[in-house]
A and B are shown apart, each in its own frame.
Chain A
Amino acid sequence: MVLSIINLSVKLGDQKAVDNLSFDMNRGEVVGLLGPNGAGKSTLMRAITHLQLHDGSISIDGKDPAALSSNERARLVAYLPQTRTIGWRITVRDLVALGRMPFRAFGTRESATDREAIEAALELTDTQHLASRIASELSGGEQARVLTARAVAQTTPLMVADEPASGLDPAHQIMLMQALRRLASQGRSVLVSLHDLTLAARWCDRVVLLDKGSVADEGRPDKVFTRQRLATVYGVRTQIAHSADGLVITPTDLVER
């Protein structure tokens, strides 16, 4: 198991943002984390990446992250935050190279391993042709892939991505999910939070549906995404169709109270 969460709770102010939550992930899985706004998705992800205080136990690749140094933690789990920040007009390659930071002491030259990891990351996210471009001048979709490449270059067994597809056009959304799938096929795992139900159904091995800080359901998308379940959690009526490419879920209306 690459990720094991047992009885995780996070209190933000007076609210319990995450309430006694447990689930786990295996190697080579893309797990979608879904739920309404405020369900605790970001909080959960920040707890996993040790950015948030929590109760309960988390184990990543068999190790307790709290007992490790920041560097060791960084070699276990890579985090892709929701807010996309690129502070300076650096090139794409330099940005992706930042992902090697947990493996390099400052001032040392890039090793062969570093170079390979960077190249592999660019290839996986289909961004090699952008390598010498200025990252902050790219389109939103390209930037999302480049930032993902940085997390990929970190060569961690687990990646946690907070809404990486938000604000992207359909093509870029699909390109991003394809990259994550490629990552999984190499034996690495991704926990990705999404809002698009169809995207999640199509590209995730499993989904975890959060509601008010607890797991409402988890498992394969076609098992979790029922009209009943979605109505309860999201408060929307949905149309679910089974096409040749997979589930198509369309929210149509609000549920009457």
Chain B
Amino acid sequence: MTALRLNISLLVLMLLLFILSLGVGPAELGFRESFHGLFAGGGEAAAIIMRKIRLPRALLGLMIGFTLGLSGAVLQGFLRNPLAEPGIIGVSSTAAFGAVLVFYSGLAGSALYALPAGALMGALIAVIALLALSARGGSTLTLILAGVALSSLSGALTSLVLNLSPNPFAAYEIIFWLLGALKDRSMDHVWIAAPLMVIGGLLIAASARAIDALSLGEEAAASMGIHMPRARLLIVAGVALGVGAATAVAGTIGFIGLVVPHLIRPLTNRMPSALLLPSALGGAALLLASDVAVRVILPAGELNVGVLTALIGAPFFLWLVARARREML
């Protein structure tokens, strides 16, 4: 399959799921009603529901899935490791901790921007730590263990901060942070996340050349004209911005950056740069589909979307580990 055909197919799939996501919800709106509500506006219930509740939700599903798929693909290319992805290597968890620390401590009052600010710092710490580890020639095992350690530590610290909050309801929000949700998001969330994700995406796109060259190792890549410190910076910043923004508004949603590149890789020529856009589109499609599923499986009270991605992703991950057992160590 040519790259163009692949990308267009995934784009179409993503758009279809986007439209489907707009059509799912507790309010039973007919197709004409929803369509009218979305575009015509006004004070009708349909318009408010479509524009202020379903549209932000679908947009976030698309943007976050896009970002997570893209981040997974670039991390795999950079670390030359098919098991790397923001959730597994601990970036999402530390981002969640950062967001929780800044928001629940009331440092920024209850301003929404406290979330991405904290999440960015958290994500940066994780990416930098992992880069330092991999620079020392860390093997796959080292990487995954470091990710496990970071995730466990961040999870524990997140729970601690939430329990220490004077507000008794804070402790119950741990589920949101550990398992992610797109429920009841508003356009405010879209506006604070979008710019960061766009910048992050552009930085990652700028590193495409570098990850191709890295197929042959760091030294060869440097000798082929890649400025390694610059490439590292682009990837660190790009992933931190994107994953930070995503986690800030939706909690930790894992495995998308792992599953999607894996499924798509055989359809490409396997050059890391060729995987970036399709992984992003596929990630958006997967998250939108998962978000539709959580609203349909339990219409009364929703599942957290992170539960579904983990149900798909974790067994997948185990299968990959078992299959690559020999090559890993």
Chain A residues close to B by CB (< 8 Å) = 46, 49-51, 70-71, 73-75, 77-81, 83, 85-91, 94-95, 98-99, 101-102, 106-107, 147, 150, 154
B193-226: contact bitstring with A at CB < 8 Å (1 yes, 0 no)?
0000000000000001100111111011011111
Q: Indicate if the CB atoms of A90 and B217 lie closer than 8 Å.
A: no
Give the contacting residue for A70; candidates B212, B214, B227, B271; CB below 8 A.
B227
Q: Indicate if the CB atoms of B225 and A87 lie closer than 8 Å.
A: no
A-B pairs under 8 A by CB, number: 82
Known: A85-B215, A86-B215, A98-B216. 9 other contacts (CB 8 A): A50-B222, A70-B226, A74-B223, A74-B224, A75-B225, A88-B270, A91-B269, A94-B269, A150-B216
Q: Is B92 an interface residue (CB 8 A)?
A: no
Q: Is B183 an interface residue (CB 8 A)?
A: no
User: From B212, which residue of chain A is reached at the shortest CB distance?
Assistant: A98
Q: A86 to B272: give the CA distance in the assembly, Å.
A: 12
Binding site secondary structure of chain A: mixed
User: From B206, which residue of chain A is reached at the shortest CB distance?
Assistant: A106
Expressed in whole angstroms, the minimum distance between the Cβ of A223 and any Cβ of chain B is: 32
A90-B270, A91-B269 are known contacts. Are A70 and B225 too (CB-CB below 8 A)? yes
Q: A101 to B272: give the CA distance in the assembly, Å.
A: 14
Contacts of B217 in A (CB 8 A): 81, 83, 85, 87
User: From B79, which residue of chain A is reached at the shortest CB distance?
Assistant: A87
Q: A206 to B217: give the CA distance in the assembly, Å.
A: 30
User: From B214, which residue of chain A is reached at the shortest CB distance?
Assistant: A87
User: From A80, which residue of chain B is reached at the shortest CB distance?
Assistant: B220
Q: Indicate if the CB atoms of B213 and A98 lie closer than 8 Å.
A: yes
Q: Indicate if the CB atoms of B271 and A106 lie closer than 8 Å.
A: no
User: From B209, which residue of chain A is reached at the shortest CB distance?
Assistant: A106
A88-B270, A89-B270, A106-B209 are known contacts. Are A70 and B222 too (CB-CB below 8 A)? yes
Could you show 12 A-B contacts with beta carbons less than 8 Å apart?
Answer: A49-B222, A77-B223, A79-B219, A79-B220, A81-B220, A86-B215, A87-B80, A87-B216, A90-B269, A90-B270, A95-B215, A95-B216
Give the total of B residues in contact with A, Cβ under 8 Å: 22
Chain B residues close to A by CB (< 8 Å) = 80, 208-209, 212-217, 219-220, 222-227, 269-273
Contacts of B222 in A (CB 8 A): 49-51, 70
Contacts of B215 in A (CB 8 A): 85-88, 90, 95, 98
Q: A101 to B213: give the CA distance in the assembly, Å.
A: 8
Q: A71 to B223: give the CA distance in the assembly, Å.
A: 9
Contacts of A77 in B (CB 8 A): 223
Q: A74 to B269: give the CA distance in the assembly, Å.
A: 25
Q: Indicate if the CB atoms of B223 and A101 lie closer than 8 Å.
A: no
Contacts of B224 in A (CB 8 A): 74, 78, 98-99, 101-102, 154
Expressed in whole angstroms, the minimum distance between the Cβ of B106 and any Cβ of chain A is: 45
Q: Indicate if the CB atoms of B270 and A49 lie closer than 8 Å.
A: no
Q: A101 to B210: give the CA distance in the assembly, Å.
A: 10
Q: A98 to B216: give the CA distance in the assembly, Å.
A: 9
Contacts of B216 in A (CB 8 A): 85-87, 95, 98, 147, 150
Q: Indicate if the CB atoms of B225 and A101 lie closer than 8 Å.
A: yes
Expressed in whole angstroms, the minimum distance between the Cβ of A105 and any Cβ of chain B is: 8
Give the contacting residue for B209; candidates A75, A90, A101; CB below 8 A.
A101
User: From A135, which residue of chain B is reached at the shortest CB distance?
Assistant: B215
Contacts of A83 in B (CB 8 A): 217
Q: Indicate if the CB atoms of A88 and B271 lie closer than 8 Å.
A: yes
Q: Indicate if the CB atoms of B271 and A85 lie closer than 8 Å.
A: no
Contacts of A86 in B (CB 8 A): 215-216
